[in-house]
Amino acid sequence: MTMNTLTGEHFINRELSLLAFNERVLAQAQDATAPLLERLKFICIVSSNLDEFFEVRVAGLKERAALTPSLLSPDGRSARQVLHEIEPRVRRLVDRQYEVLNREILPQLSAQGVRFLRRNHWNEVQSKWVRDYFFRELMPVLTPIGLDPAHPFPRVLNKSLNFAVELSGCDAFGRSSGAAVVQAPRSLPRVIRMPAELAGCEYGFVFLSSILHAHVNELFIGMTVEGCYQFRVTRNSELFVDEEEVKNLREALQGELSQRNFGDAVRLEVADNCSERMAGFLLQQFGLGEEDFYQVNGLVNLVRLMQIPDQVDRPDLKFPAFVPGLPAVLAKSNDLFAVIRKGDVLLHHPYQSFQPVIDFIRNAAQDPQVLAIRQTVYRTGTDSMLMEALIAAAQAGKEVTVVVELMARFDEEANINWSARLEQAGAHVVYGVVGYKTHAKIALVVRREAGGLRRYAHLGTGNYHARTARLYTDFGLLTCNEDICADVNEVFTQLTGLGSASHLRRLWQSPFSLHSHMLRAIRLEAAHAREGRRGLIVAKMNALLEPEIIHALYEAAQAGVRIELIVRGACSLRPGVEGLSTNIRVRSVIGRFLEHSRIFYFRNDGKDDVYLSSADWMDRNFFRRIEIAFPILDQRLKKRVLNEGIRPYLRDNQQAWRMGSDGQYVRRVSGRGRPVTAQAVLLASMAK
């Protein structure tokens, strides 16, 4: 079998696979054994994922359909075909999402004293409180816009909450356009807590949309409001910056960010009470068709409900709290550099604390023996102790170099702000390499010690982001291994300077060697199998899409290699196809934490090669990003990676889903065996 013999039927469509992932996320919200407020979070996560799906994937498909309609994806579909196939599937997903919310989660929360008070159920006292809130907090910041030749349809921000109002009668100037738009202020919360003594329960909430609905007539005195309808438009959110042409990427990006909110519309969401006339009018204003129109039974922006669990102090309705643990070697010593000199340190987040990573940079910033610190930044958040430590190090006169990825989607603004602060503190700030996103997670510290300079490094599978380190599963390695540190130094030299790429001793790096090394490792496993030796590949990642890697896996499977793939999200490989991939199994684990670590294991005739990486098996990670995969060399730590990052997931029979050759997923059940939940097992063994 060659790459040329693979046809579209050998691949699963990326967008359909992404929707299958969101169906698995929704199943978490449907799980009656999960805490109620956590189920609500999963509802919100589905909405957030769908927002990005439309902003990026659907927007891209629409562009492709318009510009290159004959171009086919690896699965043999045109963009127009994909758009046609995903529409009914998204509709079914959204309908189920609102059904679970309205019929299960909200009624059960109400029974627990967490209620969303609808306007048709307000009593007299509650109505008065709402009226006072409207006049005190809401009305002063509202700007109703009547639609007539002098007031064209306003520019509506991406994903903002708006109201289309149907009117009759004439205003003070004798105008009667029949329609107006009211934009909800972004400065106000979408869900407001009512005092418990008025709500009749401990946690009573009122939607901002309900408050405006109840008093919208106050905005149009002398006219009659015939209807008031929530709506929300989703827009293309890709940024268009020609990195080859601009002189200052940061300045160009700052100018482009403001336009992200006004990209081409790709989806219109309205509440289910919206009139047919108004729906048609809105579609016309945004240049959308019926296929882009979604009428929902409830709020048009469920993502805003994500704030509710933080406002409700009910531990019994949430996952049990935990305190991340520490590796024993760190718990016994306060001298982090001394610990690393004795041996590599492996961290497994969120089960183990992210604090040692912060301490690594903070201690380096304070240590007079440290001369230089280098770090990459992809996502770090608006409030970051790591960034503050780097700023402090620069202010203390250390050589601080930070490679900031300005094009990290949806984190551009935070990264721009950090880059400005770092520069003001005296740090060297660079933006990587034109045309390639810097996605590698690496940090390097140079320290003066007896005998000369010594380098220490941190390499990770996840971002330098303390908050997501509590929510995402990731591995990090602290090491002073000379080969690895020399490689990390070389990667930084590439990112900050000019010159040809040097050969790396231990790391595999995109866009130069990661793809070829992965292919070589897969093919070596196939060669072992053909020679009668046991072949085994286990890989864990977020997405598997790259055709040449898929082809190599098919060939290895046919050679007799057993292949276990743990792919959280989109997967284009078809497992279990007779004569093609019968030796390949694909599973996805969806649970309390977002599975984010990338682990690649090759048995290699008993050598047990283990690599951790920032890269998924996708075209962009191999060819359009700066990525690294780093080996685990310590045998003890290698066993830890397998025992913590692989084996529990292969045994999971509660939150694992098995993928069929048709791309459909079936949830594994324990049957008569002992129930195993990988994340629960790891929490019990490592957290406090």
**In sequence order, what are the beta bridge partners of 349?**
474
Residue among 213, 215, 439, 517 flagged as catalytic: 439
Secondary structure (DSSP) of 622-662? HHSEEEEEEE--SHHHHHHHIIIIIHHHHH--SSEEEEPTT
* Distance, CA of 567 to CA of 585 (rounded, Å): 10
Could you give the angle at which helices 514-530 and 547-558 cross, rounded to 10 degrees? Answer: 10
Q: What is the DSSP string of 139-167?
A: GGG---EE-BTTBPPPPPPTT--EEEEEE
**Residue 615 and residue 629: Cα distance in Å, rounded?**
7
CA angle 536, 537, 538 (to 5 degrees): 125
Rg, C-alpha atoms of the chain? 27
Please state at what angle helix 36-52 crosses helix 79-100, rounded to 10 degrees: 160
Q: Tell me whether residue 503 is one of the annotated catalytic residues.
A: no
Q: Are strands 472-479 and 345-349 parallel, antiparallel or unpaired?
A: antiparallel
Yes or no: say if 525 and 630 are a contact pair by the CB < 8 Å rule: no
For residue 526, give the nearest of 553, 495, 492 by alpha carbon.
553
Q: Are 540 and 608 in contact (CB under 8 A)?
A: no
Give the number of residues written for the chain: 688
Positions marked catalytic: 439
